Amino acid sequence: MSGPGPVLRVLLIGADPAAAAALRAAGWQVDEAADARAARGHDALLFGAADRAALAALRELPALAQAAFDHAVVVASAVADEALEAELLRQGVEAVAVAEEGSALARAVRHAVERKRVERSARTAYATDLATGLPHQQQLLEHMTQLIALREREPAAMVLLVLRVEGFAQAAARLGGEAANVLRRKVAVRLRGNLRASDVVAAIGPDAFGVLLGHLEAAADGERVAAKLVRALQQPLQVAGQPCLVGAAVGLALFPDHGKDAAALLQRASAQAGSLASDGAAAATRAPAGRGRGAANDEA
């Protein structure tokens, strides 16, 4: 006979006392909150829906899609409505369970947590660029899609930068093939070190990096951050004790002005970076022209 499973930490949002009692009876840590802002550190979120109106309100909850992307989300519903349940599942909810059936509810939460763990493992396995340890293009697109879904209800500026970097081939010719990989990793570290923790850096090609600025105070801040990054790359990088210079051209796409889906924004920024690169990015590191107030991560 197998022993008890791991202790889970579950956040209840609007669920009734019976649901809390059922999960505590399973030996789990149960916390309660008014919304999902306290979700950090929890294995699962359990939303309660006492009637059809509450179930429909969950469908319109702005934070639901992001919560379901980051956590296992289960809805404990007192009513059955297949159409509404299907919409919630499409938004990323793992399961909709009957609130009154305590043991079934606990089982649904455990299964949801296990499915989310498998999903995260698979996402990490296929979405990491092995040369740099950064997310790659597909992961970047998925993250952008999640943010865009939230922006539909809570409009805010979002900027995608694409950097075309030249200098890897020269490093390989001068110092050997592995030098290009080392240089690529150092470029990734240099970019990451000049951004906030909330910004996303991804490897989107052998000579290209994507930078997603998901939270800006003003749309013009994207150009300032782009200029900061190209200035950072102007400083030589050391590979095998030798200084290596790189050149970078940066393309910029602003949501929603330049596109309303992830693929369109990536295409726009990539095309702009490619155009600048063909103009001679190796000779002079460049960013799109423009002026704007400095962003929170524009310190240098």
On whether residue 172 sits in a domain, the answer given is: yes
On whether residue 294 sits in a domain, the answer given is: no
The verdict on 57 and 143 lying in the same domain is no
Specify the CATH number for the domain of residue 55. Answer: 3.40.50.2300
The verdict on 149 and 272 lying in the same domain is yes
Return the sign of the alpha-carbon dihedral for residues 278, 279, 281, 287.
Answer: negative
The verdict on 32 and 94 lying in the same domain is yes
| Rg value, the chain, Cα | 23
The verdict on 153 and 80 lying in the same domain is no
Of the three residues 98, 127, 156, the one that is the final residue of a domain is 127
Q: What is the pLDDT along the chain (300 residues), one digit of tens a residue?
A: 344 567 889 999 988 888 888 889 888 999 999 888 888 889 999 999 989 999 999 888 767 777 787 789 999 988 888 999 988 888 789 999 887 777 888 899 999 999 888 877 766 655 677 678 888 888 899 889 888 887 776 677 889 999 999 998 898 888 887 888 899 999 999 999 999 888 999 999 888 999 999 888 777 889 999 999 999 999 999 998 899 999 999 999 999 889 888 999 999 999 999 877 666 543 334 445 443 333 333 333
Alpha carbon distance 21, 193 (integer Å)? 46
The verdict on 111 and 171 lying in the same domain is no
In Å, what is the CA distance from 38 to each residue of 175, 193, 216? 50, 28, 23
The verdict on 141 and 123 lying in the same domain is no
The number of domains in the chain is 2
Of the three residues 87, 109, 127, the one that is the final residue of a domain is 127
Of the three residues 127, 160, 195, the one that is the final residue of a domain is 127
